[in-house]
Amino acid sequence: MAGQHPAIARWVDEISKLTTPDRVVWCDGSEAERNRLIQESVAAGELIELNQQKLPGCYLHRSATHDVARTEHLTFVCTREKDDAGPNNNWMSAADARGKLSPLFKGAMKGRTMYVVPFLMGPAGSKFSKVGVEITDSKYVVLNMRIMTRVGQVALEHLGSSDDFTRCLHSLGDLSPERRFICHFPEENTVWSIGSGYGGNALLGKKCMALRLASWLGKKEGWLAEHMLILGLTTPEGKKHYITAAFPSACGKTNLAMLVPPPSMPGWKAETVGDDIAWLRPGDDGRLWAVNPEAGFFGVVPGTSRKTNPNAFDMIQRDTIYTNVALRPDGTVWWEGHDDPAPPEALDWQGRPWTPASTEKAAHPNSRFTVAAAQCASISPEFENPKGVPIDAMLFGARRQRRVPLVYESRNWQHGTFLGATLSSETTAAATGKVGVLRRDPMAMLPFCGYNMGDYFAHWLAVGAKLAKPPKIFRTNWFRTGDNGKFLWPGFGDNLRVLKWILERCDGTGEVLETPIGCIPTKNAIDRKGTDLSDEAMATLLKVDPAEWAEAVHGQEDFLSSFGEHLPEEMREEHADLANRLSDAMTPADLRGRDTGH
Ligand code: OXD
Ligand code: MN
């Protein structure tokens, strides 16, 4: 029982005095608890029961209309020194943040129930794993935490008599963006979040603990917390590899993590270890090992179909919490990109009547499913392995309509770190703000790195230096468009064609063409059997235009300088080397790169 753990009991007591709930409920992760919470949520209108014949165990939650995405401008890293948070974070001094938030938490749970949720991030019995305790006044948050993390006894056992756990305090407050703050106190291993019920702001095990605070801990303890999927791939010859991939929010990590090999690539097997977060540690064997700290998936719903992601589509047919999708008259759900055509009538994500003639979307573009990893047909047998899985390749991907080729390979770990550091992507609906604007998103971690990113790049280099057999690092872009504005690359299951080349490179084969930015596949190195991809499309997908790139490199200067003294010298070196290689290539003879075979 969590109530018997002295440090937890003391903290809960302190927070009860501050927030004055009517009732305190200690959560144990049991089925009885789930059933009770669901019943109460349905009675309170916080969950809508869906058609239990067609979608057993599934419920719909509609959030407040102004609380549907992460609010990065209200998210703070609260350290003593501003410099420790870096130019990549909003900063408040820890003392100011406490001063500002304490009055908001004061009495915030009056008339409400306070839930105490002990949870474990990472497999039971793993040296990777970390314990958190979330205090919240939201039943929806408890129900989601029970899916996304390992709740109850398993966490308490891992903690033992230690008081080393992350203190995660959450209250819905009045849900007003005016009084919404998500504050991280890395020096005290604590998060305070008030005024939002949205996943990334309220399920504090996920972005707040497993990325922002964990990245800080990783820096201290010699490991990495990354915004990466983890995927196992077995070749037709039976050789097994694991890769990780960092893409910004809503750029297809869940789809790639659950990839189904196309019929024209028989014998391949893909297994999901994680879809959003990887914790990575150098192993005694000089390789980099990864675990997924989460126990479930909190995925973007629109665009999920039997065609795009059959594993995801199948796993969300039962025991799933849907947030902000449309409701059909028969008590089933619908969203843009569903296999079924638009229903003649439905209720939209806000519960308003909707028809195909409506000008607004039926489901919110950032509507989500929450589902246990165990329900995924492609879940890896290594998912619960406390040792993790050894990583052969790491991908940095982004959404870029122009300039960036389908795939290219870094020269080494340091150059790979530079590729990650200079990642930029067109924005999506996962965060509040304009969609489709180009923004820098180093390692897809801009919203999630809990400390100065200059120091973070240095930490990447330090981790690499400990690896005798580092993963190879690649950059990918599934989103390049042709002159007609349409995507050139088929994506989804066909992404395996790119992964195949990447694994060949890891095994020392795979044909490459050297370019100033790194090695790209030769025209026929990507397996196109069974597709209708033309030579011409392939040439555009792989095109590297040195003049265009020289411009991009120029644009990186201000960004790199923004880290001042914190930027490692090696990143400046990589930047200068790239600029030199590009200017050399800008002679006509070199414009198309030199074929060096492999
Ligand atoms: C997420 C995100 O919810 O990145 O995973 O926004
Ligand atoms: Mn994410």
For residue 345, report the distance from its CA to the centre of ligand 1, in Å: 30
**Residue 57 to residue 147: CA distance in whole angstroms:** 13
Q: Are 35 and 58 in contact (CB under 8 A)?
A: no
Q: Are 169 and 192 in contact (CB under 8 A)?
A: yes
Which residues are identified as catalytic? 251
All residues at 6 or more sequence positions from 561 whose CB lies less than 8 Å from its CB, including other chains: 567
Ligand 1 atom index nearest CA of 430: 6
**Residue 191 to residue 124: CA distance in whole angstroms:** 23
**Residue 12 to residue 18: CA distance in whole angstroms:** 10
Neighbour tally for 57: CB within 10 Å: 15
Across 38-129, the runs of DSSP E, i.e. the strands, are: 48-49, 59-61, 75-77, 90-91, 113-121
For residue 515, report the distance from its CA to the centre of ligand 2, in Å: 31
**Residue 269 to residue 117: CA distance in whole angstroms:** 37
In the chain, the domains with their CATH numbers are: 2-46+70-221 (3.40.449.10), 226-297+381-546 (3.90.228.20), 298-375 (2.170.8.10)
Ligand 1 atom index nearest CA of 431: 6
The torsion angles phi and psi of 82, rounded to 5 degrees, stand at: -60, -40
Containing 552, the helix (H) or strand (E) segment is helix 546-561
Q: Are 417 and 569 in contact (CB under 8 A)?
A: no
The residue whose C-alpha atom lies closest to atom 1 belonging to ligand 1 is 249
- Count of residues making up the chain: 598
For residue 276, report the distance from its CA to the centre of ligand 2, in Å: 5
**Residue 465 to residue 214: CA distance in whole angstroms:** 20
Question: Nearest ligand, CA of residue 368?
Answer: 1
Predicted TM-score (pTM) of this structure: 0.96
Among 207, 292, 323, 428, residue to substitute to test ligand 1 (most atoms within 8 Å of Cβ): 207
For residue 142, report the distance from its CA to the centre of ligand 2, in Å: 20
Neighbour tally for 359: CB within 10 Å: 4
The torsion angles phi and psi of 355, rounded to 5 degrees, stand at: -135, 165
The residue whose C-alpha atom lies closest to atom 3 belonging to ligand 1 is 200
Q: Which two tokens stand for residue 303?
A: 């665009």
Neighbour tally for 356: CB within 10 Å: 11
Q: HEC states along 357-380? A: CCCCCCCCCCCEEEEEHHHCCCEC
Which of helix, strand or coil describes residue 192? strand
All residues at 6 or more sequence positions from 291 whose CB lies less than 8 Å from its CB, including other chains: 122, 123, 126, 128, 129, 273, 274, 278, 279, 385, 386, 388, 389
In 3D space, the residue among 132, 143, 265 whose CA is nearest the CA of residue 189 turns out to be 132
Phi-psi category of residue 195: left, alpha or beta, with phi > 0 → left and psi -120 to 50 → alpha: left
All residues at 6 or more sequence positions from 348 whose CB lies less than 8 Å from its CB, including other chains: 326, 354, 358, 360, 361, 362, 363
Partners of residue 120 on adjacent β-strands: 131, 150
Containing 25, the helix (H) or strand (E) segment is strand 23-26
Amino acid (one-letter) located at 138: S
All residues at 6 or more sequence positions from 244 whose CB lies less than 8 Å from its CB, including other chains: 226, 228, 229, 230, 231, 278, 280, 290, 391, 393, 394, 395, 471
Q: Are 85 and 92 in contact (CB under 8 A)?
A: no
What pLDDT is attached to residue 598?
Answer: 42
Q: Which two tokens stand for residue 551?
A: 């411009």
For residue 254, report the distance from its CA to the centre of ligand 2, in Å: 9
The residue whose C-alpha atom lies closest to atom 4 belonging to ligand 1 is 249
What pLDDT is attached to residue 437?
Answer: 83
For residue 276, report the distance from its CA to the centre of ligand 1, in Å: 7
Ligand 1 atom index nearest CA of 69: 6
What pLDDT is attached to residue 179?
Answer: 97
Question: Nearest ligand, CA of residue 431?
Answer: 1
Segments in the chain below pLDDT 70: 587-598
Q: Are 20 and 138 in contact (CB under 8 A)?
A: no
Pairing mode of beta strands 438-440, 424-426: antiparallel
Neighbour tally for 465: CB within 10 Å: 11
Q: At what angle do helices 569-585 and 413-421 cross, to 10 degrees?
A: 90
All residues at 6 or more sequence positions from 573 whose CB lies less than 8 Å from its CB, including other chains: none
Ligand 1 atom index nearest CA of 253: 5
**Residue 537 to residue 470: CA distance in whole angstroms:** 33
For residue 516, report the distance from its CA to the centre of ligand 2, in Å: 31
The residue whose C-alpha atom lies closest to atom 2 belonging to ligand 1 is 249
Ligand 1 atom index nearest CA of 227: 4
Neighbour tally for 38: CB within 10 Å: 18
For residue 249, report the distance from its CA to the centre of ligand 1, in Å: 5
Among 276, 297, 364, 369, residue to substitute to test ligand 1 (most atoms within 8 Å of Cβ): 276
Q: Are 183 and 212 in contact (CB under 8 A)?
A: no
Q: Which residues line the pocket of ligand 1, CB cutoff 6 A?
A: 70, 199-200, 249, 276, 298, 430
**Residue 281 to residue 474: CA distance in whole angstroms:** 19
**Residue 202 to residue 221: CA distance in whole angstroms:** 26
Ligand 1 atom index nearest CA of 248: 4
What do you get for the CA distance between the two ends of the chain, in Å?
Answer: 59
Amino acid (one-letter) located at 458: A
- DSSP label of 212: I
Among 249, 439, 441, 449, residue to substitute to test ligand 1 (most atoms within 8 Å of Cβ): 249
Phi-psi category of residue 597: left, alpha or beta, with phi > 0 → left and psi -120 to 50 → alpha: left
For residue 9, report the distance from its CA to the centre of ligand 1, in Å: 31
The torsion angles phi and psi of 273, rounded to 5 degrees, stand at: -105, -40
In 3D space, the residue among 437, 593, 464, 414 whose CA is nearest the CA of residue 517 turns out to be 593
Q: Are 344 and 405 in contact (CB under 8 A)?
A: no
Ligand 1 atom index nearest CA of 300: 3
Question: Nearest ligand, CA of residue 148?
Answer: 1
Q: Find where tokens 């909190």 sit.
A: 298
Amino acid (one-letter) located at 186: P
Which of helix, strand or coil describes residue 476? strand
Question: Nearest ligand, CA of residue 296?
Answer: 1
Question: Nearest ligand, CA of residue 277?
Answer: 2
